[in-house]
A and B are shown apart, each in its own frame.
Chain A
């Protein structure tokens, strides 16, 4: 099937360290979305990437879409305890009507 794999599954970092999660697809993605789910919470939309090679920044978060539109990454600079949670990428299909979520990366930040 058209799966979206994310690595790593888990990541422990010390506060202040950087963090990166990668999202890989076996097929070309029309666009990709990123969501964050805090422990005990629900997914919250972060960003959508559409163009090949696109890079978008939100403060300490940098999102990239691969040139071949088969992979994406989320990089957090100088992590803080507020960054704790699970980060999901999601491929968008069906004219925007269906999201297929990646397996998620759970981030823990220690002081």
Chain B
């Protein structure tokens, strides 16, 4: 069974540009979570999508947004990039209810110059 996949692996952008990151869940997983892991700041919860809807978001500005598609894959969009957005962005997925374990993808390393 394939794990959670993310693309691209690396992304280099300049300040003010937009970045789009993608995540494909494990088959049968309907919930998708996005986390930011910046150097020295640990794992910060960004967004949670389930059944195509945004269910919860962390303490991040509105320029961080995303969506979930009918096949449960997800996109994370970051607008008006700032230098401090440079981080590893991790996607995690899980079964919809009852089972709390999250399965993480390999991440997208975003560098903002």
Contacts and interface: CB of A to CB of B under 8 A. Distances in A.
Among B44, B55, B90, B101, residue most surrounded by chain A Cβ atoms (within 10 Å): B101
A59 interface: no
| Chain A interface SS verdict (over half) | strand
Contacts of B90: 42-43
Contacts of A33: 100-101
Interface string A79-111: 000000000100010101111111110000000
Given A48-B100, A96-B100, A42 B106 contact: yes
A39 B33 CA distance: 21
B42 A101 contact: yes
B45 A102 contact: no
B113 interface: no
A32 B99 CA distance: 13
Given A31-B100, A42-B105, A98 B56 contact: yes
B16 to A, nearest CB: 29
Contacts of A104: 42-43
B110 to A, nearest CB: 15
Interface residues of A, number: 20
Contact of A101 (B43, B55, B99, B101): B43
A30 to B, nearest CB: 10
Interface of B: 31, 33, 35, 42-45, 48, 50, 55-56, 90, 92, 97-107
Interface of A: 31, 33, 41-45, 48, 88, 92, 94, 96-104
Please give me the 6 A-B residue pairs with the lowest Cβ-Cβ distance, nearest first: A96-B100, A101-B43, A42-B104, A45-B101, A43-B104, A103-B42
